[in-house]
Structure 1
Amino acid sequence: MIGSIEPPGRTIDFPSQQVKNEQVPRRTMSGLGRRGASIVVRELTLSTPLIRSCHARPFSVFNRPQPKYPGHVPLTFVERGALAVGSAVGSLVDPWRADLIAACGEATATPYFIYRLRDAMLSDPTGRQILRDRPRITSETMPLTYLRSLPENSVGRTYAAWLDREGVSPDTRDNVKYIDDEECAYVMQRYRECHDFYHAVTGLPIFVEGELALKAFEFLNTLIPMTGLSLFASVRLKPAERERMLSIYLPWAVRSGLGSKELINVYWEKILEKDVDELRTELGIERPPDMREIRRMIREQKKREKERLAQATA
């Protein structure tokens, strides 16, 4: 402590220098009294810089910590809440805004849910290997020319066929930026990039009805809140679509979502040549009725009814 009286031969530590009190005998110091001792201490500290306790400013809008990984955007509690509400409402109004859906997923995944998913990976040998390797799913790591050359019913061929049928690319996924923990950010990125594999394995299309069915399945498998919140978009469905959702696809999502293994632990890059039916059996996923085929049959039925009505009135 600055100014403390030490026995002869001991050293008083100062921030910038060390001052020995060997020249000030103990008897002399004790005889100076309280006033004299304070004068000596003041003289000893004149040449020492004044130390002031400096506390770091708290995290605020105007004082953000350094990003923890490329693209990271630290958020305050209020900002995270506003982002969650705003992106949820925006994605409900426009379900095709993938950026809003991604932001809602990140804002609502912390502080608990993304850690639960990370822990599920840490508790599984394959999940731990994925976290060590940190593979990315892009058009470069998943070249379509190679995937199309795989056996007919393989996972990779099924994935490529689904991408071709739906007209989408693995490069359309936004990078994670609102999750603070760097490892958890990768877990969210991995889930996001594997989403199309879930589509391919289940055969569900990308229009709203198919996305909602898959989101219900994902919610029960991953517990990510955004996937559950997405179900509010069912208000946009037509009556016939809502009826199919409630009677066919929601019961399927409950059965498969609760009964299947954690899909986040599937190392898709290593099972591209595996038979997709065998994979479904291993994962405990029941393939739902073909949504596109159901819609096609309904359209044809309506068309025949119109033609029959037109003939009757002719």
Structure 2
Amino acid sequence: MLAISRTLRATDIARVACSRLSSSIHRQQTAYGTSTRFSSTTPAYKGHIPLNWFENAFLAAGSAVMSLADPRRGDMIAALGETTAGPSLPRLRDRMLESAEGRKVLKDRPRVNSATIDMNKLAQYPEGTFGRAYVTWLERCGVTPDTREPVHYIDDPELAYVMQRYRECHDFYHCICNLPVNVESELALKFFEFVNLGLPVAAISAAFGPLRLNSQKRHRLFSEYVPWAFRCGGSARSLITVYWEERWDQNIEDVKRELGIWDPPEARWSRPLSEAKAAAEKRRRETAPQSS
């Protein structure tokens, strides 16, 4: 009971602290206008909120507590990822610069949302292609690509895009690794991401996330999924360098072989694959171009 009480008090303190910091930032943005946050600091891109070292550390600690207390707080998880990124983002950018495909991503800076990706067009791709597999995965998991928080706390615009790219491609990683959206699968992917990409937020999630699992699921995570994540994530090509949007028409099995990815142990899905394929096929028929 004492441990639970302390956890609740820490959560309450973190909630108040994050709320006050957010309110303080908002007040200063209002006072100084949208172009400046402090009198000596100018935002580097739209939505950028510059932080000094103390604010960054304060927000990192508070968002860590809040994220662990309520994993549904996407804004806190996003803040944690940005405030703890450190030298990992420059390393990821360097990996992208070493790859022709990665350099093209940095040059074009594609975004992943329903405004930039035509889901109806993807549904027209043949069964077995990456584009069709992605639409089917979205249908099966009941999610959309519009849930990712924008980056606010990364000072360098190019590094901010690298973080945004990682965030928006997360569902592609789920799809290519054949993992659904549930706690154990998400943790398996976090282990994979940490080994493959080296982002601290993935390590934090992998370290503390298993506390939310019961003993049976935790045992399976560490005995089956974690070994897969370390082997596959360590040997696979760095996924941050992949221009996914130019691979819609490729056979998904060919893409997996090229990237060095193989399926993890069978996961627990909330919806049968047959239903998701039927939904994707229905979308294809309804949106197919009418022949003259």
User: Aligning the two structures, in what range does the TM-score lie when normalised by the shorter sequence?
Assistant: 0.7 to 0.9
> Is 1:73 matched with 2:36?
no
> Is 1:169 matched with 2:144?
yes
Deviation of 1:140 after TM superposition, in Å, equals: 2.1
Q: For 1:4-83, what aligned pairs fall within 5 Å after superposition? A: 63-83=39-59
Letter of the aligned partner of 1:254 in structure 2? F
**Separation in 2, partners of 1:80, 1:64:** 17
Deviation of 1:98 after TM superposition, in Å, equals: 1.2
TM norm structure 1: 0.72
Q: For 1:122-271, what aligned pairs fall within 5 Å after superposition? A: 122-231=97-206, 232-271=208-247
Deviation of 1:64 after TM superposition, in Å, equals: 4.7
**Separation in 2, partners of 1:293, 1:71:** 36
**Separation in 1, partners of 2:263, 2:217:** 19
Match of 2:19 in 1: none
Q: Quickly say closer, same or farther: Cα 1:93–1:160, change in 2 above 3 A.
A: same
Deviation of 1:290 after TM superposition, in Å, equals: 2.2
Deviation of 1:85 after TM superposition, in Å, equals: 1.2
Deviation of 1:289 after TM superposition, in Å, equals: 2.0
Task: Please tell me whether the aligned partners of residues 64 and 74 of structure 1 are also in contact (alpha carbons under 8 angstroms).
Answer: no
**Separation in 2, partners of 1:143, 1:284:** 28
Deviation of 1:166 after TM superposition, in Å, equals: 1.0
Deviation of 1:219 after TM superposition, in Å, equals: 0.5
Task: Please tell me whether the aligned partners of residues 95 and 208 of structure 1 are also in contact (alpha carbons under 8 angstroms).
Answer: no
**Separation in 2, partners of 1:251, 1:199:** 17
**Separation in 1, partners of 2:66, 2:180:** 22
Match of 1:4 in 2: none
Asked which structure has the greater RCO (Cα within 8 Å, sep 6+), the reply is: 2
Q: Quickly say closer, same or farther: Cα 1:133–1:293, change in 2 above 3 A.
A: closer
> Is 1:95 matched with 2:71?
yes
Letter of the aligned partner of 2:67 in structure 1? S
| SS at structure 1 position matched to 2:93 | helix
Deviation of 1:294 after TM superposition, in Å, equals: 11
Q: Quickly say closer, same or farther: Cα 1:193–1:127, change in 2 above 3 A.
A: same
**Separation in 2, partners of 1:294, 1:207:** 9
* Consecutive aligned runs of 4 or more in structure 1 exceeding 3 Å deviation: 61-64, 293-296
Task: Please tell me whether the aligned partners of residues 177 and 263 of structure 2 are also in contact (alpha carbons under 8 angstroms).
Answer: yes
**Separation in 2, partners of 1:254, 1:100:** 27
**Separation in 2, partners of 1:65, 1:170:** 33
Task: Please tell me whether the aligned partners of residues 141 and 270 of structure 2 are also in contact (alpha carbons under 8 angstroms).
Answer: no
Q: Quickly say closer, same or farther: Cα 1:117–1:227, change in 2 above 3 A.
A: same
TM norm structure 2: 0.78
Given the alignment, which residue of 245, 258, 274 partners 1:282? 258
**Separation in 2, partners of 1:135, 1:269:** 8
Deviation of 1:227 after TM superposition, in Å, equals: 0.4
Letter of the aligned partner of 1:261 in structure 2? R
Given the alignment, which residue of 272, 278, 283 partners 2:248? 272
List gaps (5 residues or longer) in structure 2: 1-36, 273-292
Q: Quote the sequence identity (%).
A: 51
- The structure that has the greater radius of gyration is 1
Q: Over the residues paired in the alignment, what is the CA RMSD in angstroms?
A: 1.7
1:157-190 residue CA offsets vs partner (Å, 9 max, x unmatched): 1111111111111111111010000000001111
| SS at structure 2 position matched to 1:287 | coil
Give the number of aligned pairs.
235
Match of 2:18 in 1: none
Letter of the aligned partner of 1:71 in structure 2? G
